[in-house]
Structures are given as structure tokens and as C-alpha cells.
Amino acid sequence: MFYFIIDILGTIAFAISGVLVAMDKRLDVFGVLIIAFVTAVGGGTLRDLLIGIKPVGWLNAPMHLMIIVVTVLLAIIFVKQLKYVRKSLFLFDTIGIGLYTMVGIEKGLAADLSPVMCIALGTITACFGGVIRDILCNEIPVIFRKEIYATVCILGGLVYFLLIQFPIENTIAYSMAIVTIIIMRVLAVQFKISLPNIYREIT
Amino acid sequence: MFYFIIDILGTIAFAISGVLVAMDKRLDVFGVLIIAFVTAVGGGTLRDLLIGIKPVGWLNAPMHLMIIVVTVLLAIIFVKQLKYVRKSLFLFDTIGIGLYTMVGIEKGLAADLSPVMCIALGTITACFGGVIRDILCNEIPVIFRKEIYATVCILGGLVYFLLIQFPIENTIAYSMAIVTIIIMRVLAVQFKISLPNIYREIT
Amino acid sequence: MFYFIIDILGTIAFAISGVLVAMDKRLDVFGVLIIAFVTAVGGGTLRDLLIGIKPVGWLNAPMHLMIIVVTVLLAIIFVKQLKYVRKSLFLFDTIGIGLYTMVGIEKGLAADLSPVMCIALGTITACFGGVIRDILCNEIPVIFRKEIYATVCILGGLVYFLLIQFPIENTIAYSMAIVTIIIMRVLAVQFKISLPNIYREIT
């Protein structure tokens, strides 16, 4: 029940981030809807394709589709008010990437993959909806440039696999990994920490 | 037999739309061929991947590959004459999206998916070849910006699922949905109907 | 053992080509790593998805991931020295596309696909890592514009299917196809051979 609520809040936050990028590009209503949808479910879809889960998750999740459609309509109508909920959106988004990272790791474990690959799948689940969003909007994905987003997911995954080495309940390791991701991301944004950019000096 | 001919005409129209976009971008012969191919089969490929049909359709459809190669060569040779067949191409394209929408819906039903998801898959089948074409050519997909293309597919899908509620033969509902899509698209283009663009006014 | 070494050298060369493109775009360390990874494994991943091999290859190839991570770190540190190994990189890259073309053809044959589709899959294996790299970096894929890259893979595939018509050992046909690809690519670059660009003159 708790995870269910987090999933919905995360979906809403991801969809709204899609709406904002799509509006910047002056897309029409259908374009905005697709971008919001892809942002929210793209990461999980890519994960399912890579593992070979069929059909991909959203084809059996009508509720997610409905939530995204309603979110998009509300976001379009109340676009001027969105700035007043910016902090809540950041929080939902952050909780969302925490949860989605762990969902991806779980699916990787269920497919008998190694911890390293599970962490990769968790990161893909949490981050690649945004990557597909940016590609569809003809931008270099923002997480390749500045947002310290994926790094936080990878660290959260490491925390999880560290914790389950100890005699600890799985639910607790799971929750602590999510909390780690949330705290690290809030701190990174608070203190404007980002990965070093690398300039090519070769000629 | 009838559907077979529509399929070929649609494939030709889609391939030529790929050729035109690729030429605008000054690609070489190989690039033009790939863009034409992706425009023609990309939507069905994405649908097969999402449902989990393996291998994806075109790997067992050598005839489609052949038709596309011949179309591309002819389109390159007779590029100056293409403008004289513009209306026929528009017609083939429109008949094509009608058919492909229904093919996608059928595959969704065969995979036991809900009507809403079947309509989504039909729309993907008909429209996402063009989306992949635009992404490969470094453009924001045109159907996200102005062409009222996907909306017509969605409406056609709704008509189909409405009709099969009644004691009507499946072939008739199928054909009427295709006809609906064709008529709506012709009307939309005729009267320059498009979805409202949404400008982001948040700061 | 021999193929194993070629595979590693090819992976390194592909990863470094990703690093260079990503640096040109001023991505951060995570972005550079992802682009390098996608360049190296993207072609094989797309092939596995299209055929329906699950999970996709790299999820069970931790060694490749490790090689790529080490390559990226070394390439970033020694970026100024990269120009001194440019010729070796070109060679590794060329040997790589030769091998990967044949790997793709083999996987196609194992999935009972026709020669034409096997050649398509071989070309995708060798070339589409670079395509995905360019799309993620917001560029029109270079192989659609100038590099005579894919054509060489297609010709190599044809040589293979021609040779196995004769009473010849499979390993020999396999190796000769790879050698053909390498020689043709070296000659093409040496003599600056490229496919004709096609300009759209229709209005």
C-alpha cells in the first residue's frame, strides 16, 4: 500500500517533468501526452525489453495510463500554478527514482542477473524515461550533462547489495536503499554537487 | 488479397515519405534506404517488441524489404517526378495508416490485451515509423507538432471497439474503422484541422 | 581464443569512439560512460531485441562492462595521448566491425532466418552501436552521411553466403568474410571512397 502510493506520486512527478519539457518545445496536446507517458514509463519499458519480460509492464497497467492522462490534462490547465508545487514535485520525483531503482533491481534479481547488472537495470528504470523524453524532444539527455541523477541510483543500489550481505530483513535493506537515494539526491541538489564535465582537448 | 494490396501501397507511401525526409537531410544512399525502411516497418517493429512477438515481423517478411529497396531506387531516380504523384501518395499513406492501425489492434487482441492498450498499439503501428524516422533525422517528430495523425488512429480504434459491441461481423467493423480513419484524415487535411499547441508560460 | 582477443580489441575501439563523440558534446563522466557503453554494445543489443534473444547479451557479459569502464577511465586520463594511437584504433575498429558482422550473421542463422535478414542483422550488430551513440548525442548518424561503413558489412556478408555454397569449411568462409570486410574498409578509407549523397530537388 505504501509502495503503491509512492509509485503513483512518482508517476505524477515524472509525467509533469515530461509535460514541462514538451511545452518548452511547443508540442501539441498529443505530443505533450506522449512525452509525459514516455517519461513516466520509458525506463521500465526499456528494462523489460532488455530482460525479455513480455509484454512490457505498461501494457497491463491501465491505471498508470489513466493517471498520466489525468496528470497531463491538469498540468496543462494549471500550468501557471505549477511553480507553487515545484518543491513537492522535486520531492515526488526524488522518492520516485528511489522506488524505481529498487523495482528495477528486484526485476533483475528475479531474472537471475548479477548484482552489477541489477544495479544497471535499476538505474535504467529510474533514469531512462528522462533520456527517451530528451531524445524525442531533440535534446542531449540532461542526465548526461549535469543532473547528478544516475550516480545516486547506482550508489543506492550498492547500499542495497551491501546491506543484504548482513543478516538483515530484505524489506529493511530495500527501504534503506530508497532512503539513501532520497537523502543523497536532496544533498546533491542542496549543495549543487555535480559530476565533472570532460572537455575534449584532443585534435 | 485486398488487404495485401493495401499493405503494399501503404509500405510504398511510407517508404517514400522516408526518402523525402532523408533527402532533405542530404543523406547518402545507404542512409536514405535505412530511413525509408525504418519509416515503413518501424511502427510494427516497436509494437512487436512491446508485445514480445519474436522475431519482429520484418525479419520474416523479405517481400517488404524488397518492395522498400525498389521503391527507394525508383524514388531516387524519379525524384523530380514525385510531385506529380503527391496526391496518390497522400492517399496511399492515409489508407496505410488505416490498415496498420487495425493490424496493430488485431495483434494486441491476439495477445489478450485490453481495448485501450490495443488502440495504443494500433496507433504505435501506424505512427511510430514516422517518429523513428524523425528522430534518426534529428528532428522533433512531426506528429508531436502539427500533423493530426495519431488522433485519427485513436478515433478509428474507438469506432472499431464500439462496433464490435453490436452483433456485427468482425470484417465489417474492421473495414468500417479503416474507412473512418481515411475519411477523418482527409477531412482534417482538407480543412486544416490540427490539435492546439500548448505554450509553456511557467517561469 | 583468437576471436576472444578480436572481440576485446573491437570493444575497446568502439568504446573509445564513443568517448570521443561524448567529449565533443561536453558530457559529464556518467554521460561519457553511457555513450561509450552504448557504442560498444548497442548494435548487439538491438540485434538481440529484434531476434528475441533474452536477456540481451550484455546482461550476461560482466567482462564487457568492465573492459568498457576501464577503457573509458584510461581514455579520459590519457585523452591527449589518444592521437598517437589513432591508427591502431582505426585498425581495431575495422577488425571489430568485421567480427561483429559475422557474429550477427551467426545469430541470425541460429534463429533460422534467411540469408538476406542475417546480413541485415550482421550489419546492425556492427553499425548500430554508432547510430545509437549519434542519436544520444543529438547528431544525424554519421554512417547515414559519409562513412562507407555499412556497405562494407553487407558486402562481407554476401561473400560469406557465396563461399558457403561451395564445399568449404565454415570457419574458413567465416574468416574470409572478416578479412574481406577489413580490406574493403581500409581501401575505402585509403582512397576516400564514399556513397553518393542524394540531394532533394523536389519542391
Query: Which of the four pLDDT bands, split at 50, 70 and 90, describes residue A203?
Result: very low
H or E element in which residue B172 lies: helix B170-190
Contact criterion met (CB below 8 Å) for B46 and B132: yes
Closest-CA distance of chain A to residue B77, Å: 31
- What's the grid cell of residue C126? 556492427
Looking at chain A, which subunits does it touch, using at least 3 CB pairs closer than 8 Å as the criterion? Answer: B, C
Model confidence at C46, pLDDT cuts 50, 70, 90, reads very high
- What is the pLDDT, as a whole number, of residue C202? 42
**B119 → chain A, closest CA residue:** A59
In a domain, A11, yes or no: yes
Q: How many domains does chain A have?
A: 1
**DSSP designation for B59:** G
Cell of A88: 513537492
Phi, psi angle pair for C56, to nearest 5°: -60, 150
Per-residue model confidence as pLDDT tens digits over B78-119: 988 888 888 888 888 899 999 999 999 999 999 999 999 999
Domain assignment present for residue B200? The answer is: no
pLDDT digits (tens, 9 = 90+) for A32-57: 999 999 999 999 999 999 999 999 99
Q: Which chain A residue has its CA at the smallest distance from C57's CA?
A: A50
Closest by Cβ to C23, choosing from A49, A111, A198: A198
**Contacts of residue C49 in chain A, CB cutoff 8 Å?**
49-50
**CB distance A10 to A93 below 8 Å:** yes
Check pLDDT > 50 for residue A31. Answer: yes
H helix or E strand, kind and range, residue B8: helix B2-24
Q: The cell 554512417 sits on which residue?
A: C143
Quick one: average pLDDT of B66-76? 95
In a domain, C196, yes or no: no
C200 within domain boundaries? no
Give the one of B22, B34, B55 whose C-beta lies nearest to C50's C-beta: B55
Residue C203 predicted with pLDDT over 50:
no
- Kindly tell me the burial class for residue B96, based on how many C-beta atoms sit within 10 Å of its own C-beta (0-12, 13-18, 19 or more): buried
- Of C23, C32, C55, nearest to A111 by CB-CB distance is C55
- Give A50's contacts in chain C (Cβ within 8 Å): 45, 49, 55-56, 59
Measured between alpha carbons, how far is B156 from B184 in angstroms, rounded to an integer? 9
What is C101-116 written as a DSSP string?
HHHHHHHHHHTT--HH
Range picked from B10-14, C74-78, C115-119 for highest mean pLDDT:
C115-119
Nearest to A24 among B120, B197, B200 (CB): B200
Q: Is residue A198 scored above 70 in pLDDT?
A: no
Q: Which residue has the cell 507511401?
A: B13
Find chain A residues with C-beta within 8 A of C30's C-beta: 143-144, 150-151, 195
Average pLDDT of span B138-163: 91
Which of A120, A140, A200 is opposite residue C79, by nearest beta carbon? A200
Rounded Cα distance between B72 and B30, Å, is 10
Considering chain B, what percentage of its residues have pLDDT values greater than 70? Answer: 96
Calculate the average pLDDT of chain C: 91
Chain B residues with CB under 8 Å of C116 CB are 62, 65
Collapsing DSSP states into helix, strand and coil, what is residue B202? coil
The three-state secondary structure class of C18 is: helix
Q: With an 8 Å Cβ cutoff, are C139 and B137 in contact?
A: no
State the nearest Cα–Cα gap between A126 and chain C, in angstroms: 15
- Closest CA–CA distance from residue A191 to any residue of chain B (Å): 23
CA-nearest residue of chain A to B111?
A55
Q: Which residue has the higher pLDDT, B197 or B20?
A: B20
Query: Is position A63 within any domain?
Result: yes
Say how far apart CA C87 and CA A106 lie, in whole Å: 44
For position B202, what pLDDT does the model report?
42
Rounded to 10 deg, the angle between the B29-51 and B2-24 helix axes is 130
Range of the domain at C74: 2-190
Predicted local confidence at residue C198, as pLDDT: 60
Residue C7 has pLDDT above 90, yes or no: no
Question: Measured over all CA atoms, what is the biggest interatomic distance in chain B, rounded to whole angstroms?
Answer: 56
CA-CA-CA-CA torsion for C96, C98, C103, C104, nearest 10 degrees?
Answer: 110
Q: Contact C122/C101 with Cβ under 8 angstroms? A: yes
The 3-state DSSP class for residue A28 equals strand
Q: Would the CB atoms of C29 and A199 count as touching at under 8 Å?
A: no
Least confident residue range of A1-5, A59-63, C18-22, C193-197:
C193-197
Confidence (pLDDT) at B199: 57
Q: What distance in Å separates the CA atoms of residue C31 and residue C37, rounded to the nearest whole number?
A: 10
Mean pLDDT of B4-8: 86
Residue B189: HSE in the Cβ half-sphere, 13 Å Cα cutoff = 13
Q: Is a pLDDT exceeding 70 seen at residue B5? A: yes
Nearest to B80 among C116, C194, C201 (CB): C201
Does residue C91 contact residue C11 with C-beta atoms inside 8 Å? no
Cα of B2 vs its chain's centroid, Å: 18
A152 touches chain C (CB under 8 A): no
Is C192 near chain B, with CB under 8 Å?
no
C40 pLDDT band (50/70/90 cuts)? Answer: very high
Confidence of residue B203 (pLDDT cuts 50, 70, 90): very low
pLDDT of residue B6: 83
- The Cα C115–Cα C136 span in angstroms is 31
Residue C88 clears pLDDT 90, i.e. is over it: no
Taking the mean position of all CA atoms in its chain, how far away is CA B54?
21
Mean predicted confidence (pLDDT) in A137-141 = 95
Q: Sort out which chain B residues have CB atoms less than 8 A from C55's CB and list them.
A: none
Between A25, A28, A35, which is nearest B194 by CB?
A: A28
Confidence tier at B182 by pLDDT (50, 70, 90): very high
Say if residue B198's pLDDT is above 80. Answer: no
Average pLDDT (C73-92) is 87
> Measured between CA atoms, how close is B21 to chain C, in angstroms?
9
| pLDDT for the residue numbered A67 | 96
CA pair distance A90, A17, nearest whole angstrom:
10
Question: Please, which residues have CB within 8 angstroms of residue B146's CB and are 6 or more apart in sequence?
Answer: A28, B194
Question: Is position C121 within any domain?
Answer: yes
**pLDDT score for B145:** 86
- pLDDT higher than 60, residue A202: no
Distance CA B152, CA A77 (A): 24
Q: What is the spatial distance between Cα A140 and Cα A151, in angstroms, rounded to a whole number? A: 18
C156 domain-assigned: yes
Report the mean per-residue pLDDT for chain B. 91
CA angle A20, A26, A27 (to 5 degrees): 90
pLDDT at residue C123, as a whole number: 96
Which residues 51-110 of B are in CB contact (within 8 Å) with A? 51-52
> Given the C-alpha cell 525502411, which residue does it identify?
B37
**Domain annotation covers residue C203:** no
Q: Is the pLDDT of residue C199 over 70?
A: no
Residue B202 forms contact with A (CB below 8 Å)? yes
Closest CB from C49, C52, C114 relative to B62: C114
Contact C151, C126 (CB under 8 A): no
Answer whether C138 sits within 8 Å of B138, measured CB to CB: yes
Q: B199 and A26 in contact by Cβ < 8 A?
A: yes
C136 neighbors C38 (Cβ within 8 angstroms): yes
Of A110-124, C34-48, C141-155, give the lowest mean pLDDT range: C141-155
Q: Do C113 and B55 touch (CB under 8 A)?
A: yes
- CB–CB contact B62 C138 (8 Å): no
Q: Is the dihedral of CA A109, A112, A116, A118 positive or negative?
A: negative
The rounded distance, in Å, linking the Cα atoms of C71 and C29 is: 13
Measured between alpha carbons, how far is residue C26 from residues A189, B157, C83, C130 in Å? 21, 45, 19, 18
